[in-house]
Amino acid sequence: MKYDIVDTLISPEGRMDVLSKSEVNKLLDTRQGGLYTIFRNCALAVLNCGNTIDDGKELLERYKSFDISIIQRERGIKLEIVGAPANAFVDGKMIKGIHEHVFSVLRDVLFVNDEINANSRFDLETTEGITNAVFHILRNANILHPMINPNLVVCWGGHSISRGEYEYSKKIGYQLGLRALDICTGCGPGAMKGPMKGATIGHAKQRITNGRYLGISEPGIIAAEAPNPIVNDLLILPDIEKRLEAFVRTGHGIVVFPGGAGTAEEILYILGILLHPDNATMPFPLIFTGPESAKEYFEQIDHFIGLTLGEEAQARYKIIINDPVSVAQEMQAGIKLVREFRKEHGDAYYFNWLLKIDPEFQKPFIPTHENMRNLSLKKDQPRHLLAANLRRAFSGVVAGNVKDAGIRAIEQFGHFEIRGDLNIMEPMDALLASFVAHHRMKLPGKKYTPCYQIVK
């Protein structure tokens, strides 16, 4: 099947108009491990905005002829793009928001490679070093705004949701926008796009012209969750763990919509952090919400959390069904407590330094068949560490579902095997089966073949 493509030449806007010869050479290095592959794949994902595809492998194979290269000129650089998805253009001209996103990718890929990975000042083997790296990536992208009161709401949820759930997420965003709250999501479609779209209307009605719609992604997932064009600040972290840390360090509260394995991963991540003893008294508003049709979904999530992590974990969130106004009011009240806490303890409003994140939540997890098989999914460990390993299990399912490397590993070696205590495996099996039954693993209309096998 042939897909419409466009060739173009674009100039940067802002900081990325001048690159050194060394930077250009790195970006054009097509060898194994070279920057070109990361830059090309992320740029293609950005240009794929609006296309209904959530399979990283399929995207790369669909646009095999796609290429992006840097042209050095006396007055700066240009990007030569060949074989780009036509949806990124209007009358032959690239959509401005997508144009900006391409150069955000360029900025972050270069910064992480030159200033983080190749810099002895960042010890990525320590928790302090990893947090410091996340801070510098955010600061370089001008994401940290010190003169603003806490107002950033992180919205998590699935890319494959029903139309009713999507419309509900817009209503939540609208109510948050009316209260001058900004939105941060994983930047893709579905529950990541809806709150931003709703907030733009709420902000417009309040004559807020500087509303923030922050999208945070990483190279492994961006192909399946192309940034939607409402995002006006796009940030690419080097891996899923740093992406998740960026969410909780910058956000002042979290709203969770219905989703699949990726949403379960995010829930387990934040609950594991909040279960750490050092975070016991820290306010962090966490709300699960959806329309009436999502009531059963959140009952299943709540049941799973109760069986695996217990009542202490359940006490850290509220479930509000079909009530956008209450969600927004609850979030606004929770963020007020966050502000008071940060002020009392001398912590920054723009970056949550006091939040204790255990190294088990920071170490990059590579979902190989061996690593998935060897996860410690047993109850004879602290609750926050069990949450860390459960998070890894769901992360592996996400990789096998939508990430290029994960899909290829499943094709080559078969299912990921997930093993553990029976009183953990049975609830996990039931939860994943419900995701499959309600089409939460892939976009509607796409056949889902499980990439995992629960071994009881």
CA atoms within 13 A on the CB side of 411: 9
Looking only at Cα atoms, what is the longest distance across the chain? 65
Helix axis angle for 96-111 and 35-47, nearest 10°, is 160
* β-strand pairing of 5-10 with 253-256: unpaired
CATH 3.30.1850.10 domain locations along the chain:
5-118
Q: Binning pLDDT at 50, 70 and 90, where does residue 136 land?
A: very high
User: In the predicted model, is pLDDT for residue 218 greater than 60?
Assistant: yes
Phi, psi of 7, deg, nearest 5: -105, 145
Cα-based distances in Å from 374 to 84, 174, 307, 418, 453: 41, 44, 21, 8, 14
Going 135 to 139 to 144 to 145, the CA torsion angle's sign is positive
pLDDT digits (tens, 9 = 90+) for 264-279: 999 999 999 999 999 9
Q: Is the pLDDT of residue 27 over 90?
A: no
| pLDDT (average), residues 390-400 | 93
Say if residue 325's pLDDT is above 90.
yes
- The CATH 3.40.50.450 portion of the chain extends over 136-345
Q: What is the spatial distance between Cα 211 and Cα 215, in angstroms, rounded to a whole number?
A: 13
For the record, the structure tokens of 48 come out as 């794929």
Portion of the chain with pLDDT greater than 90, in percent: 66
Contact by Cβ (8 Å): 309, 276: no
Q: Give the separation between CA 174 and CA 328, rounded to whole angstroms.
A: 9
241-264 pLDDT, tens digit per residue, is 999 999 999 999 999 999 988 899
Token reading at 250: 């910058």
> How far, in Å, are 104, 246, 305, 364, 419 from residue 95 at the CA level?
14, 27, 42, 34, 47
Residue 424 has pLDDT above 80, yes or no: yes
Select from 3.30.830.10, 3.40.50.880, 3.40.718.10, 3.30.1850.10 the CATH code of 5-118.
Answer: 3.30.1850.10
Helix axes 383-402, 261-274, angle to 10 degrees: 160
> SS3 of 209, please?
coil
CA dist., res. 182 & res. 195, Å (int): 10
Tell which wins on pLDDT, 394 or 49: 394
Q: Which residues, in sequence order, are CB contacts of 389 under 8 Å at separation 6+?
A: 360, 375, 376, 377
**Gap between the Cα atoms of 110 and 393, Å rounded:** 30
Give the range among 117-131, 191-205, 329-343 with minimum mean pLDDT.
117-131
Three-state secondary-structure class, residue 48: coil
Q: Where does the pLDDT of residue 75 fall: very low under 50, low under 70, confident under 90, or very high at 90 and above? A: low
Cα distance between residue 456 and residue 454, in whole Å? 6
Burial class (CB in 10 A: 0-12, 13-18, 19+), 273: buried
Is the pLDDT assigned to residue 46 strictly greater than 70? Answer: yes
CA 336 to chain centre: 25
Q: Could you tell me if 162 and 293 are in contact, meaning their C-beta atoms sit under 8 angstroms apart? A: yes
CA 352/CA 388 separation, integer angstroms: 20
pLDDT band at 31 (very low <50, low <70, confident <90, very high): low
Most confident of 33-42, 106-115, 203-212: 203-212
- Top-tier CATH class for 136-345: alpha beta
pTM score of the predicted model: 0.91
Sorted by sequence, the CB contacts under 8 Å of residue 315 that are 6+ apart come out as: none
* 371 membership: H or E segment, kind and range: helix 369-373
CB burial of 223-244 (b: ≥16 within 10 Å; e: otherwise) equals bbbbbbbbbbbbbbbbbbbbbb
Q: Which range is most confident: 36-40, 216-220, 266-270? A: 266-270
Mean pLDDT of 438-452: 77
82: phi then psi, degrees, rounded to nearest 5? -125, 130
pLDDT on residue 145:
92
Q: Which two tokens stand for residue 9?
A: 């030449």
